[in-house]
Structure 1
Amino acid sequence: MWPFRMRADPEPEKTETGASEDALLRTILAADCMTRDQAMNVPAFAACVNKIAETVSTIPVRLYKLVDGKLEEVKEDERTRLLNDDTGDALDGVQFKRALARDYLTGKGGYAFINRTGTRIKSLHYVKESEISFMFTSDPIFKDYDIMIQGTKYKPFEFLKILRNTEDGRSGKSVVDENSEVLSVAFHSLMFEKTLVKTGGNKKGFIKSTKKLTNEVMSALRKAWNRLYQNNTENVVILNEGLEFQEASNTSVEMQLNENKKTNSDEICKLFNMPPAMINGGSTEEDKTNFVQYCLNPILKEFECALNRDLLLESEKGSYFFAADTSELTKGDIEKRFRAYETASKNGFLQIDEIRLKENLPPLGLDFVRLGLQDVLYDPETKQFYMPNMNATGGLGQEPAEKEGETIDEN
């Protein structure tokens, strides 16, 4: 039997689709399709996107190595410097991650060109998702594609790709595309309020007449009505005998827009799994915990997976990995943070200098672990235990062994 697995059919020809063509199709198929710019005009949506993007941008990325079953942080690696500080491009590390997060949420994904020299990564270059198009095959199993930017073809491994709810590995689905109806309601409510402000709160309606009007009278009436709704100095229309204005719309109060605005804001927060208090103010510790656990963590895992796939060498995969350091999120509450350090120090899994390092303080050279005399230390491998207060060792079912110069009081 032939030892290599082959495709049943020859490789399909790649066809091209672009961002502008996708936008044109959406416009033709759905007149009310929401765009990214329209969605970002909705205050609750923009607040959620900015909150997530700004938080993600401030979280440092660490590189770890698995050595003999233990994790060690890789210091001074060029890739972590590019991600956290200087990308080698016009954007710094914070701006770079913020732009990727915004495109991840509101576009087809976050993309960045990886500028390599051999196996070394020299710089990372953010590319707007609107500049990205694809050449891809129609094969649903063996997916293959090329990335096109202004007519230049690139291979997938040349780009860092952070995609939301992707099904093809080349582009994702934004929050805007998946929830256009909810966002459309909020956007059109905003446009209705804008119209009310521009027209001075004047209602729409029609004019009833007891007799037929001439064309000249109708033309003059239309001009006067247009001036009324332009909110200029002429805000009065005189209706002669036989003319009556009939309202044909409701005010914002009658439509309960203020109540609906609050409801729409809460519904938009649900799209991001974000507690509404995180953008409205008055958030509790539980809200902050839920924000990190249910909103941020899934996005950070997407980032980590993309970094491991695109920035690690094949020889490094399996032993090296990138991880977001979310401990920075706890630095806002100093009292809570110091209580956590106290517990860690008392229980012996953090040393004094390790705590000072986390607080960006110089080490004191205190290389020891604090232990209490009341503790009994047990080694599960040798099945031996040590009692510090007696300075004695022993095993299960054995009498404690005396140290040199020590006696054990058996009374």
Structure 2
Amino acid sequence: MKFFRFFKKEKREFKNIGPQDELSKVLNGEENSKDIVTKDIALQIPSLKGGISFIADLVSSLEIKFYKEIDGKVESVDDYRLNLLNKESGDTLNSFHIKHALVRDFILYGNAYLYVNKYRNNIKSLHYVDAKKVSILPNYDPIFKDGKILVNGKYYDTYEFVIFTQNTLDGLSGEGLLSENSNLLELTYNTLAFSSDNIAAGGIKRGVVKSAHKLGEEAMNALKKAWSSLYNRNVNKSSAIILNDGLDFHELSQTSTELEILNTRKNNDLDILSILKIPASVMNGTASNDQYNNFIKSTIIPLLEQLADAFNKTLLLETEKEEGCFFAFDTRDLLKGNVKERFETYKVAIESGIMTPNECRYQENLDAIEGMDIIKMSLGHIIYNTETKELYTPNTGEIISGNSTLFSTSKEVNEDGNKIA
């Protein structure tokens, strides 16, 4: 029954690709093939698949926060849209999968799209749209750039989508690895296909058959069929060829390409990691803290900034933009060093009066302790309470009120904080 074919495991094989494939598609009237290396083919390359997943997993695991200026301070506040961005998107994909898909499309295609389902000014849900299902119709005005977005035969305005692009000239569509680095991806894939074919053939070496006399058509066809079966990956490898009298097999020497195939694969992998801006040491887990932090700052942070800008452009109301509201990724955990380095940093920050103990605890996701919103100051050390605005000198027991100015005191003291005789 056809129903049970649904459970049959799909079998994929490596197949060499090249310019002739694109030509044949055009001549046969098949779908347009702008990129010889498609997404499905590219993701069969282990280094590319692993690199994209590594970046996308990092980005998708980060929480998005909503910030607003309150009394001259920028503070993180709650907002109903955070649930759509961090938990339930309203789509069949949850927020993690949506962010993962956006980053993957951004890297491969150079553009990613998220439809914003609105009712008036309220956002009801967010929906990921496959970049291959989207067509852009620009207005071709080099100054006042705009356009329409076509999905499944329906036109949409650009403000209905969160548009995430790179290497773009109009902000609506861009260029990714599939178009900008197609030669490298084609070379890497064909190298994998070459290795796969050799392994599938059981390591049988290439050669030629020499005949002492001319073979008839029937004998020639039988020899070709047997030889093709020997190298065919789908044929039982226990098969063998029996050469009749007068036939000799002469092995061909390996080419330089065959001898260097392992090094070629390693170099291809390094090249792919290079275009993804991922150090090999980060991928194999041998990177130092400095190397990892440099990777975060040069690769992940710019990606987060671009994604946050795209969210801010579409998800914020104009009044919110004027008030200085914005969405941003919480990157505290990304740049944390080891425990010893972090706590030494906190010690310096507390002793120099830059941070309060509770602020340091917040960085470690710990609950605040009542009475620890204090800043150490000089005079070895006087304590400043940020909530009551009072200065306290432990060695004298004096409390100095700072309601009007820093040294507006409840007792008569000089500018050094000492009593006036």
TM-score, with length taken from structure 1:
0.81
Describe the shift of the 1:334–1:193 C-alpha distance in structure 2 as closer, same or farther (beyond 3 A).
Answer: same
Choose between structure 1 and 2 for higher RCO, CA contacts under 8 A separated by at least 6 residues: 1
Query: Which residue identity does 2:345 align to in structure 1?
Result: A
**What is the deviation of 1:168?**
2.0
Among 348, 357, 360, the alignment partner of 1:352 is 357
Match of 1:132 in 2: 134
Query: Which residue identity does 1:283 align to in structure 2?
Result: A
Superposition pairs of residues 3-402 of structure 1, within 5 angstroms: 24-26=31-33, 33-67=36-70, 69-73=72-76, 75-230=77-232, 232-247=236-251, 250=254, 254-318=258-322, 319-330=324-335, 333-374=338-379, 401=415
**What is the deviation of 1:400?**
5.1
Describe the shift of the 1:173–1:235 C-alpha distance in structure 2 as closer, same or farther (beyond 3 A).
Answer: same
Query: Which residue identity does 1:281 align to in structure 2?
Result: G
Aligned with 1:112: secondary structure? strand
Tell me how far apart the structure 1 counterparts of residues 229 and 58 of structure 2 sit (CA, whole Å). 48
Tell me how large the CA RMSD over aligned residues is: 3.0
Match of 1:4 in 2: none
Query: Which residue identity does 2:215 align to in structure 1?
Result: L
Describe the shift of the 1:254–1:103 C-alpha distance in structure 2 as closer, same or farther (beyond 3 A).
Answer: closer
Tell me how far apart the structure 1 counterparts of residues 167 and 285 of structure 2 sit (CA, whole Å). 30
Tell me how far apart the structure 2 counterparts of residues 298 and 96 of structure 1 sit (CA, whole Å). 19
2:296–2:335 contact (8 Å) kept in structure 1 = no
Q: Deviations over 1:201-259 (max 9, x none)?
A: 12334323232110111111112212322352434222234323344573799421211
1:206–1:246 contact (8 Å) kept in structure 2 = yes
Query: Which residue identity does 1:234 align to in structure 2?
Result: S
Describe the shift of the 1:86–1:349 C-alpha distance in structure 2 as closer, same or farther (beyond 3 A).
Answer: farther
Query: Which residue identity does 1:229 align to in structure 2?
Result: Y
Q: Deviations over 1:305-332 (max 9, x none)?
A: 1111111111122411222221121457
1:134–1:148 contact (8 Å) kept in structure 2 = yes
Tell me how far apart the structure 1 counterparts of residues 46 and 109 of structure 2 sit (CA, whole Å). 18
**Unmatched tracts of structure 2, length 5 or more:** 1-24, 383-390, 401-405, 408-412
Aligned with 1:327: secondary structure? coil
Query: Which residue identity does 1:135 align to in structure 2?
Result: L
Query: Which residue identity does 2:182 align to in structure 1?
Result: S
Tell me how far apart the structure 2 counterparts of residues 354 and 256 of structure 1 sit (CA, whole Å). 56
Of the structure 1 ranges 347-356 and 169-178, higher mean CA displacement relative to structure 2 is found in 347-356
Describe the shift of the 1:26–1:276 C-alpha distance in structure 2 as closer, same or farther (beyond 3 A).
Answer: same
1:44–1:265 contact (8 Å) kept in structure 2 = yes
**Unmatched tracts of structure 1, length 5 or more:** 1-19, 378-385
Of the structure 1 ranges 278-287 and 159-168, higher mean CA displacement relative to structure 2 is found in 278-287
2:84–2:126 contact (8 Å) kept in structure 1 = yes
Of the structure 1 ranges 60-69 and 271-280, higher mean CA displacement relative to structure 2 is found in 60-69
**What is the deviation of 1:38?**
1.3
**What is the deviation of 1:335?**
3.4
Q: Deviations over 1:138-163 (max 9, x none)?
A: 33333331111111211110111111
**Aligned positions, number:** 370
Of the structure 1 ranges 149-158 and 48-57, higher mean CA displacement relative to structure 2 is found in 149-158
1:108–1:129 contact (8 Å) kept in structure 2 = no
1:352–1:366 contact (8 Å) kept in structure 2 = no
Query: Which residue identity does 2:61 align to in structure 1?
Result: T
Aligned with 1:135: secondary structure? strand
Query: Which residue identity does 1:343 align to in structure 2?
Result: V
Tell me how far apart the structure 2 counterparts of residues 286 and 405 of structure 1 sit (CA, whole Å). 50
TM-score, with length taken from structure 2:
0.79
Describe the shift of the 1:225–1:403 C-alpha distance in structure 2 as closer, same or farther (beyond 3 A).
Answer: closer
Aligned with 1:196: secondary structure? helix
Aligned with 2:33: secondary structure? helix
1:108–1:172 contact (8 Å) kept in structure 2 = yes
Match of 1:14 in 2: none
Query: Which residue identity does 1:57 align to in structure 2?
Result: S
Identity %: 34
Q: Deviations over 1:259-293 (max 9, x none)?
A: 12221111111101111112123121122112101
Query: Which residue identity does 1:369 align to in structure 2?
Result: I
**What is the deviation of 1:110?**
1.7
Describe the shift of the 1:404–1:347 C-alpha distance in structure 2 as closer, same or farther (beyond 3 A).
Answer: closer
